[in-house]
Structure 1
């Protein structure tokens, strides 16, 4: 459900918005920041798959050292299709790429990846602790373990109502799920999904910079 990461004292921690199969965009962004796989860590807000050209390659990022992702609603739709035979929602939301693969093999590869993809992260930084979930956190981070999966993976209530309330018991939270033209902050929640599948853009930013921005306000 929740995994915590101690502060990275040897390199930088980065968080990336929804990739949706756009592995090349990630490579370009990592090159721009001179990402060092030996020292730096990469965190994803989920939705690694669907709509882009390299879904499986993006999904298997979680097997690379220093790469971590929370579960997104698209991974959950894939799980519901491959394990429970609920295909309609996934196929109508970008999951058609799955049809080129053997279903048993793809199911196994998804299962292996999702075993490494909890619903939430806590990342310690020099400026405080940053939470990461896919869609929306609870109003009190202390309630994260009892917050519904529906909220964490699907909700857009905060951004649809421009809710500026601060999430308690966490310094900052980073989410994706809802495409925004530019990164947006509501309270202490940072939205970083730039809609890669229609904009051709992703947001890659240092987690420490987000924490510093929130704690300085």
Structure 2
């Protein structure tokens, strides 16, 4: 059974960085790590998931999982890979995710040579299977969460009237979690929401958001910036033209794999982000 929630202490020796969806773009990460002068002896790097697919070097990105300074959560692309590899033994994988892998940038798994195939299935895929869905770092005002898509209960398709009529509280859209609700018993019921959800970002309308300039680009702050009781939560999943802060969720996927003007790989330092938002 995969880990649902991992807790880590605050980094007392160095800095904590959080990056957006990598999607096989290891070269872009190397550029960013040089820019920030990343020190693997004391610094840590957190990923919001989707290390693989679409970009040129999914294997190189998966090899990051061997590094003691690297911490990732599972995204929908990791779940698609695992469901493709272990369709019977992956209890929390999104139903049918394996069939989606090849049509969502995952054909690289078919193009690997024997040595890379062996490395993927005997070493790297088992590491992916051990990744948590949520990482929580630190305590108090400096606490932050890392998750792929969103921390919200309810069905990911709010147009599904059958779910909307359910008496079960978890079937009713929608309820943004608080820190005290981030526990295995809750998360086990909302894996699809954690990895695939886009309801929160769809709530944000640019005309109702305030634009703020930051050292890492434009930040849109919604009129519902914070969810009371939920610490800052870094998420990706949805490529955006700028960062967005809504309901304590900071959306940081800037579509790096597209390699087009206006896209980039965001690597943010948590303490600096706290200073922007103060």
Structure-1-length-normalised TM-score: 0.91
Number of equivalenced pairs = 215
Equivalent in the alignment of 1:53: 56
1:93 and 1:133 map into 2 onto residues whose CA distance is 20
Equivalent-residue separation in structure 1 for 2:102 and 2:73 (angstroms): 22
| Distance of 1:81 and 1:104 partners within structure 2 | 15
The secondary structure found in structure 2 opposite 1:95 is coil
Please report how far the alpha carbon of residue 70 of structure 1 lies from its aligned counterpart in structure 2 after TM superposition: 0.2
Please, which runs of 5 or more residues in structure 1 have no aligned partner? none
- 2:236 is aligned to 176
The reply on whether 1:64 has 2:102 as its aligned counterpart is: no
User: Is the 1:16–1:205 contact (alpha carbons within 8 Å) kept by the matching residues of 2?
Assistant: yes
Q: Which runs of structure 2 are paired with 1:27-38 in the superposition (5 Å)?
A: 27-38=30-41
Partner of 1:95: 106
Which stretch shows the higher mean deviation, 204-213 or 62-71?
204-213
Range 122-131 or range 148-157, more displaced: 122-131
Residue pair 1:125, 1:208 contacting (<8 A) in 2 also: no
CA distance in 2, matches of 1:203, 1:117: 21
How far apart are the structure 1 equivalents of 2:276 and 2:138? 15
Are the equivalent residues in 2 in contact too, given 1:129–1:211 (CA < 8 A)? Answer: no
Query: Are residue 22 (structure 1) and residue 25 (structure 2) matched?
Result: yes
Residue 130 of structure 1 contacts residue 211 of structure 1 at CA under 8 Å; is this kept in 2?
Answer: no
TM-score with structure 2 setting the length: 0.72
Alignment equivalent of 2:43, drawn from 37, 40, 47: 40
Q: Which blocks of at least 5 consecutive residues in structure 2 are unaligned?
A: 89-95, 153-175, 205-221
| CA RMSD between the two structures | 2.1
- Contact kept? 2:82, 2:129, Cα under 8 Å: no
Q: Shift of the alpha carbon at 1:125?
A: 7.0
Are residues 125 and 24 of structure 1, via their aligned partners in 2, closer, same or farther at CA, if it must alter by over 3 Å? Answer: farther
SS in 2 for 1:166: coil
- CA separation in 1, counterparts of 2:60 and 2:8? 24
2:129 pairs with 1:118? no
Q: Which has the larger radius of gyration?
A: 2
